[in-house]
Chains A and B, each alone.
Chain A
């Protein structure tokens, strides 16, 4: 065993790490503080790091000025729908690719992995043209259907399924279980951690999505939260206390949620290293 270094060095390092942690999160601290300030208190030099009002006045005003509660409901609906659909379709596709050998199965897999290299910015124009032809502009279908499955999710689950011992399935096959039954009764229960991680990524990605709803949704009532809080509404630009209240509504639930699920999340990233 090595000796612990001197107390001065240890304290310095801890203070340094603490300083960096506060600095990195200062924008969020500042957002929260500003959302609990009066207009006058927000615009002072030197700025005060303490809130001046202790009620949700700015939040109430923000919810009145822009349809914020509507945004929250819309975004929850879309993000949950996408997550549920991806659970179904990604796991089915991943099981097929992990266990069933068919003609060209490796080519299908390679093409799938290849699409991971194509960023959404590249495909947004053709995707928009398709969605428009379907008459889906301003409809949630445009936000849900193209994302019913994802190459990343399929890849993640396939890798996990590959690690499940085949012997478990072979025993079930001898007992006469069908593929579907094996999938539902053996594979899915054993894959809960992977399904959980995938659901977290998917939900978060769609809660945070900005570009695609910006393109396909123009109706303010149907808008997603990220576009809703960042678009300029007249008289909104300089209302920083209200804008910070709106941002808090979009950001704080995610931060709190992240504290509970961070283990699955961060470790998933170290393993796959693929998704933000």
Chain B
């Protein structure tokens, strides 16, 4: 190894593949954050219903994908996505949707990974939301009911504002987790087809351990880290005024 100054960084910013992987990562992050946070909140609200029985067992069931390994999950989803005999295409055929080559069609491979990513994280977000929901006193809702508030009123005026610190936390955690996506890509698509799923961690991995360009790969790693720190700071800054801390 020898000292090359900023050469690795300059080369990185001049490489279309680097920008491509960054764009793919952005798409993956945006594709996973919104649904996994919203679904996590919805499921948490279902489980937070006062009179629902068996909450503990349901919470455990929803959490199973979180504790199992992404590697095994990716193998299983590879089978679910099988174009001719996979369960996903079978269900889609009920709605008249023709067989999709989930992992070998560049138009669908990233969507396939996004679905797996959301599925794997919903339970985690649910648990965080559930903890947040349980801190909201029931009396607030009861008072609102006396004033004749509808369910939507209560959700908009009590749940959402009082839950905003939790939401901020969930969004940031999900952002970081999505940004780090690697295992599903490595097992299911290896960055393909046609680089359509080459996210930044996989680009880093390939450069380091396939092409053995450790210097270049380290530049990507530093860039990744800097980006994550900046994103976190921006999110905190934006939400400082909008988040309600009781």
Contacts and interface: CB of A to CB of B under 8 A. Distances in A.
A24 B183 contact: no
Contact of B122 (A24, A128, A211): A24
Interface stretch (B30-38, B56-64, B235-243): B56-64
A270 B126 CA distance: 10
Q: Which of B53, B68, B73, B80 gathers most chain A CB within 10 Å?
A: B68
Interface of B: 43, 46-47, 49-53, 58-80, 82, 84-85, 87, 90, 119, 122-124, 127-128, 130-131, 142, 169, 173, 176-177, 180, 182-183, 186-187, 201, 204-205, 208-209, 214, 217-218, 221-222, 224-225, 228-229, 232
A250 B70 CA distance: 11
21 contacts: A10-B51, A13-B49, A14-B52, A17-B47, A21-B62, A24-B61, A24-B62, A24-B65, A25-B61, A25-B64, A28-B68, A121-B180, A125-B204, A125-B221, A210-B69, A229-B75, A247-B72, A251-B69, A254-B69, A255-B68, A273-B128
A24 B201 contact: no
A25 B169 CA distance: 26
Interface of B is mostly: helix
A247 B47 CA distance: 30
Contacts of B52: 13-14, 17
A215 interface: yes
B183 A266 contact: no
B209 A46 contact: no
B69 A2 contact: no
A243 B79 CA distance: 9
Nearest to B170: A273
Contact of A273 (B50, B64, B169, B228): B169
B75 A254 contact: no
Interface stretch (A37-45, A84-92, A105-113, A169-177): A37-45
A270 B128 CA distance: 6
A163 interface: no
Interface stretch (A94-102, A153-161, A257-265): A257-265
A24 B90 contact: no
Chain A contact patch, size range: 35 or more
B109 to A, nearest CB: 16
Contacts, number: 178
B183 A262 contact: no
Nearest to A20: B43
A5 B204 CA distance: 54
B69 A4 contact: no
Nearest to A22: B61
Contact of B218 (A5, A125, A265): A125
B71 A27 contact: no
A273 B173 contact: yes
- Complex A-B, nearest 5 residue pairs according to Cβ-Cβ distance, in ascending order: A208-B69, A270-B131, A226-B71, A210-B71, A21-B61
A208 B68 contact: yes
B29 to A, nearest CB: 14
Given A46-B90, A244-B79, A262 B209 contact: no
Nearest to B82: A240
B182 A211 contact: yes
Nearest to A261: B67
A227 interface: yes
B48 to A, nearest CB: 11
Contacts of A13: 46, 49, 52
Contacts of A44: 85
Contacts of A45: 84-85, 90
A131 interface: no
Contact of A42 (B64, B85, B122, B204): B85
Interface centre among B61, B67, B73, B222, by most chain A C-beta atoms within 10 angstroms, is B67
A24 B209 CA distance: 35
B71 A243 contact: no
B64 A230 contact: no
A64 interface: no
B124 A276 contact: yes
A118 interface: yes
A208 B222 CA distance: 26
B72 A226 contact: yes
A131 to B, nearest CB: 13
Given A14-B52, A266-B60, A31 B173 contact: no
Contacts of A254: 67-69
A43 B86 CA distance: 9
